[in-house]
């Protein structure tokens, strides 16, 4: 394969036989809902308008699991929990586990697999997760929740690099 450089973006990758799609180290083979729950415990009384603004809490975690070491095949799962409360009443609670089966392509060193999968995988999955949540919450009788874009690189640094530092400090 020949190399191709995108002059406008400074991006370099392998050119496929079609000559237009560079390979960037990861290929998604499948996407799916792994687990999903929507709870609307205090409806219909919480569905009425003219009430105070609810408090919203959203949490996102990610994990990657090796499925086949020889083929560099992994499952990447994004866990999303959203809870909306007004005073002490829960309006709704959503839990979604959204999975990808992906392989690491090319000459990506093994120590870079984890960050590649847990930064780029969720970037690819996030628009689908956002749409599932918005549609479900709207079907539950509330305005759709449109999650703001997430910086998965920063989230990765916070979640995994701090864990590594804690483990290193514990071993010292």
Domain boundaries, the chain: 25-145
CB 54 within 8 A of CB 85: yes
Looking at per-residue confidence, does 9 or 25 come out higher?
Answer: 25
CB 54 within 8 A of CB 82: no
Q: What is the mean pLDDT of residues 90-115?
A: 92
pTM for the predicted model, two decimal places? 0.77
Question: Greatest CA separation found in the chain?
Answer: 63
Q: What is the mean pLDDT of residues 140-160?
A: 89
CATH number belonging to domain 25-145: 3.10.420.10
Task: Give the residue ranges of DSSP H helices in 54-171.
Answer: 113-139, 152-156, 162-171
Q: What is the mean pLDDT of residues 89-103?
A: 96
Distance between CA atoms of 135 and 7, rounded to whole angstroms? 39
Span 77-95, pLDDT tens digits: 999 999 999 988 999 999 9
């Amino acid at each position: 394969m020949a190399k191709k450089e995108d002059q406008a973006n400074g991006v370099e990758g392998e050119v496929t036989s079609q000559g237009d799609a560079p390979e960037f180290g990861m290929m998604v083979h499948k996407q799916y809902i792994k687990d999903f729950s929507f709870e609307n415990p205090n409806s219909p009384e919480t569905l009425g308008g003219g009430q105070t603004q609810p408090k919203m809490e959203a949490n996102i975690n990610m994990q990657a699991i090796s499925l086949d070491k020889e083929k560099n095949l992994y499952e990447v799962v994004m866990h999303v929990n959203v809870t909306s409360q007004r005073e002490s009443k829960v309006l709704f609670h959503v839990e979604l586990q959204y999975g990808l089966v992906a392989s690491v392509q090319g000459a990506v060193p093994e120590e870079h697999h984890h960050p590649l999968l847990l930064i780029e995988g969720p970037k690819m999955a996030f628009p689908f997760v956002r749409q599932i949540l918005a549609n479900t919450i709207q079907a539950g009788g509330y305005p759709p929740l449109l999650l703001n874009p997430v910086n998965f690189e920063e989230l990765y640094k916070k979640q995994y690099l701090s864990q590594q530092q804690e483990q290193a400090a514990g071993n010292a």
